[in-house]
Amino acid sequence: MDNEKSQKDMKISERRDFFKRTAALGVTALAGTSLAASQQDDPAIMHHVPWGQKWGDPVTKNRYGIPSAYEHNNIRRNTKLLASGNYRASIAVTPIHESEGIITPNGLFFSRCHGGVAHIDPKEYRLMIHGLVKKPIVLTLDQLKRYPKVNRTHFIECPANGGQEWRGPQFNSLQFAKGFMSSAEWTGVYIKTILEDLGLKPEANWMLAEGSDNSEMGRSIPVDKILDDAMLVWGQNGEALRPEQGYPVRLLLPGWEGNLCVKWLKRLEFSKEPWYAKEETSKYTALKPTGKAVQHFYANEVNSTVVSPSPEKPWTDLKDGDIVEIEGLAWSGMGTITGVDLSFDGGKNYVEAKLKGLVLPKSWTRWSYIHKYKKGEVLLLTSRAMDDAGYIQPTVDEETSVMGVESVYHRNGVETWEVTATGEVNHVQIRS
Amino acid sequence: MFKLDRKSVVSAFIVTVATVAVASSVPSKPSIDGGVYYPIVNGKTGPYLVNTQSAGMKINNGRVPTANEIKAWDKDIMPDGTGLPEGSGSVEDGETLYEEQCVMCHGDFGSGGGGYPALSKGNAYELQKTLKNQRDKPDADGPVRVFGTYWPQVSTLWWYIKDAMPHTKSKTLSSDETYALVAYILNINEFEIDGEEVDDEYILNREKFLKIKMPNRDGFEPNIDGPNAREAVRKYYANPANFGAKKVKPSKRCMKNCQKKTAKVVRIQNGGINAFEPPMSVERDLPKKPDYDQGFNVLKNYEDNCMPCHGADGMGAPVTGDKEVWAEVVSKGMSTVYKNGIDGIRGMPAKGGASVSDKEFKMLVDYMIEKSK
């Protein structure tokens, strides 16, 4: 809850109330009675609220529910910096600063496409699986959904999350600094289950996943992942995938780069050699200072951020001595979060934060630390996560010493929020 | 310790579900991505329960596609030429096509613009050397990453143009047109094929295409080609130093005095990037009215909002219809008139207290001026 905002609301309602009260006093004066109004009384309590005295909407309204009109600012946003292709080869990012728990509402799930969001007629949907399999098949959507299902909670992250900030912080915003990711419970089938029918030939090393969208987005994936936890998913948080997420079917490679999780999926082909599709060479390769670029950069490494406070939702309303929860997200495409450390001095000294709620593999994990706020204190809040694969977030210096500043992708160095003496929050980095 | 656990878990897994045909292909080695492998053991993978009853059963959904159906969809082009059709196209034809269908996004001579990628920045062989450039100082030049300087395979270009270009009407170019466009892009990147310059007269065909060697062919790691590729990838990601990651035993991680003396706070420079659409806000209020309501009734809004003060003498406001006064108002310039009204001036509250958009407010001002001519 943003107290500054609520105080503002209060002022508005007080102002509104001034007129009402003036009118009411006029009436009571005439009636010869009086009700002693105290300055401490909250008008939101003392008066009937408009929605309490009239019929609400019938249950027949909004056959597919929509958020409260008051939540209209909790939306995906975009920036011209990332506006390629008239927003058809572009991204709209998730308002992480408003996120709760480890699930992103489907309408807020970040949206990245390479040729615009395709709208597929499910009746004309076909999935073809061929190449180095004993039996190639084509499936309708209904046939695909007949396979035994699995439900898994995983984040999907664009490997360019934070990728604008290799040379220094650029976005004074959590939404833009870390919002190239979202999380959902996915429903689908393990590809390995389907391959039991088809019989993967032993010489198969790679699988091409290809979308049916305007860009025919394609990526080569090693069969190791296909035989591990790769899924074909059609369900997202209990309903069909949204068009922005590849309706009716996308590939899900838990923990791996979002672009590998090909949307509007049309074709899977197995082969001995990889394809060198456009998005696995021209993009999504990380150039190092050696002049060599990392290609087939799969898993998003362990990462974390403080979510509350954030530049969008600062601490300007806190009073001296307030008990406040510093809350954040941690995630790893390589495993399960095992711990998060929090620093108040930009990474010089750390304390252990507490993990909260479900702690799942390759999933967002909530963590927090209870803090007693001292008015006027200046803090540098830095979080640092670890996973069960043994990884820990590097410092900004440690990461750039290997990757330089031109690699764009897979930046997972620790992130720092500066809390100023007035409670404003700024995105900064600590560098030597 | 971690490796030991996994070995025992994986071997248990293979014993229990040996009937699953694909299980034997699951590597009993570290994951290819350097992460944790969570096998399905005793009906569980990690924290998730799994119904393994279908293991070893044939479900046989779907049907076998026809040869024509596979041919219709299997349009990818591989580096060895698999899938690449016969055909040819000239640089000259490519340039004509480019001017007709590509230049509006990719710019003159592939120079880029409008948020679309550049296709060339000049001689690819020279510019490939910029890939070691780092913009780690304010005036440093960055690496040039365009098709000619960066991409490892030319097959990617042919395939992508044929499948995904032009962006607004993809899959409309013939194979010959694709060869022509590829020839033109090679030309503006100053390529040579088999020792021959791709000049303005050059005609590209399949045979010549397969001889193209990209300047940055060896610019990528790990190796992904050949029968040992997956092992090479696995080995690469087993070493965090290769990709900027960090491993440490939890008990050994630094908790106190972890920073160098030189550590300093780096702030956002020059305001950073804040041109967000829509603008950032965390207000919980009702959405503002749209910029312009199609059904906006100027007369009614004038009567409701403006007329109380502007409708008659004595309120101190310029009276609608008073040509002299309004001429003086307008003489300040319309932008000033609008601004004064929107912000409020003297006795007039902002927008006269009306809850209308800026655009609607201007319509009301225009109405009063029109009535005062």
User: Span A150-162, mean pLDDT?
Assistant: 97
Do A183 and A95 fall within a single domain? Answer: yes
H or E, element range at B164: helix B155-164
pLDDT over threshold 80, residue B289? no
Do A112 and A231 fall within a single domain? Answer: yes
Which residue's entry shows tokens 């310029």? B318
Greater model confidence, A172 or B307: A172
A298: in domain: no
pLDDT over threshold 60, residue A1? no
Find out whether A99 and A331 touch, Cβ atoms under 8 Å.
Answer: no
Least confident of A66-70, B11-15, B28-32, B358-362: B11-15
Do A174 and A108 fall within a single domain? Answer: yes
Give the gap in angstroms from C-alpha B329 to the nearest C-alpha of chain A: 33
A291: in domain: no
Return residues 46-75 of B near A (CB < 8 Å). Answer: 46-48, 50-51, 53-65, 69-70, 73-74
Find out whether A316 and A4 touch, Cβ atoms under 8 Å.
Answer: yes
Paired tokens of A398: 């440690």
Find out whether A17 and A43 touch, Cβ atoms under 8 Å.
Answer: yes
Least confident of A110-114, A160-164, B9-13: B9-13
Q: How many domains in chain A?
A: 3
Q: What confidence score (pLDDT) does residue B14 get?
A: 41
CA distance B1 to B251: 14
A70: in domain: no
Do A389 and A255 fall within a single domain? Answer: no
User: Span A274-281, mean pLDDT?
Assistant: 96
- DSSP conformation class of B49: E
Confidence category of residue B21, pLDDT binned at 50, 70, 90: very low
A264: in domain: yes
Do A47 and A94 fall within a single domain? Answer: no
Substitution target in B237, B258, B264 with the highest count of A β-carbons within 10 Å is B258
Q: What confidence score (pLDDT) does residue A30 get?
A: 44
pLDDT over threshold 60, residue A264? yes
B140 inside 8 A of chain A by CB: no
Do A49 and A121 fall within a single domain? Answer: no
3-state DSSP assignment of residue B367: helix
Residues of A in contact with B31 (CB under 8 A): 224, 228, 334
Return residues 315-354 of A near B (CB < 8 Å). Answer: 332-336, 338-339, 341, 346-351
List the domain boundaries for chain B: 2-49, 76-209, 298-370
CA distance A13 to A117: 42
Q: How far is CA B211 from CA B5, B191, B205, in A?
A: 49, 12, 10
pLDDT over threshold 80, residue A95? yes
Tell me the whole-structure pTM to 2 decimals: 0.83
User: Span A170-190, mean pLDDT?
Assistant: 98
Do A321 and A275 fall within a single domain? Answer: no
Closest CA to B84 of B161, B148, B150, B152: B161
Q: What confidence score (pLDDT) does residue B307 get?
A: 86
Which residue's entry shows tokens 């003392």? A46
A173: in domain: yes
pLDDT over threshold 90, residue A158? yes
Q: What is the CA angle B5-B11-B16, rounded to 5?
A: 125
A67: in domain: no
CA distance B367 to B337: 13
Give per-residue pLDDT as tens, B336-348: 999 999 988 887 8
Burial class from Cβ neighbours inside 10 Å (0-12, 13-18, 19+) for residue B15 reads exposed
User: Span B235-239, mean pLDDT?
Assistant: 97
Domain around A12: 3-54
Do A179 and A96 fall within a single domain? Answer: yes
Do A311 and A267 fall within a single domain? Answer: no
Confidence category of residue A423, pLDDT binned at 50, 70, 90: very high
Q: Which CATH architecture has domain B298-370?
A: Orthogonal Bundle (1.10)
Closest CA to B175 of B77, B109, B314, B66: B77
Beta carbons within 8 Å of B235's beta carbon, 6+ residues apart: B222
- Read off φ and ψ for residue A177, nearest 5 degrees: -75, -30
Closest CA to B26 of A227, A200, A255: A227
Find out whether B23 and A228 touch, Cβ atoms under 8 Å.
Answer: no
Do A222 and A115 fall within a single domain? Answer: yes
Query: Which of A249, A283, A317 delimits the end of a domain?
Result: A283
CA distance A395 to A409: 16
Do A117 and A204 fall within a single domain? Answer: yes
Burial class from Cβ neighbours inside 10 Å (0-12, 13-18, 19+) for residue B351 reads buried
- Read off φ and ψ for residue B162, nearest 5 degrees: -65, -40
Beta-sheet pairing, A425-431 with A293-294 = unpaired
Residues of A in contact with B84 (CB under 8 A): none
pLDDT over threshold 60, residue A13? no
Confidence category of residue B350, pLDDT binned at 50, 70, 90: confident
- Listing DSSP states for B168-226 in one string gives TS-S---HHHHHHHHHHHHHHTT-EETTEE--TT-EEEHHHHTT---TTTT-EES---S
B139 inside 8 A of chain A by CB: no
Asked if A255 and B282 come within 8 Å (Cβ–Cβ), the reply is: no
Q: What confidence score (pLDDT) does residue B27 get?
A: 47
Paired tokens of B6: 């996994």
CA distance A220 to A259: 11
Beta carbon pairs, A and B, within 8 Å: 394
Give per-residue pLDDT as tens, A202-248: 999 999 999 999 999 999 999 999 999 999 999 999 999 999 999 99
Find out whether A273 and A221 touch, Cβ atoms under 8 Å.
Answer: no
The superfamily CATH assigns to domain B76-209 is Cytochrome c-like domain (1.10.760.10)
Confidence category of residue A332, pLDDT binned at 50, 70, 90: very high
Q: What confidence score (pLDDT) does residue A22 get?
A: 46
pLDDT over threshold 80, residue A101? yes
Return residues 382-421 of A near B (CB < 8 Å). Answer: 386-395, 397-399, 402-407, 410, 412, 416, 418
Confidence category of residue A163, pLDDT binned at 50, 70, 90: very high
User: Span A265-272, mean pLDDT?
Assistant: 98
Q: What confidence score (pLDDT) does residue A9 get?
A: 55
pLDDT, chain A, mean: 93
A62: in domain: no
Asked whether the bond before A122 is cis by omega within 30 degrees of 0, the reply is no
Asked if A299 and B283 come within 8 Å (Cβ–Cβ), the reply is: no
CA distance A263 to A242: 10
A63: in domain: no
Closest CA to B22 of A9, A227, A236, A315: A227
% residues pLDDT > 70 (chain B) = 91
Do A128 and A235 fall within a single domain? Answer: yes
Q: What confidence score (pLDDT) does residue A190 get?
A: 97
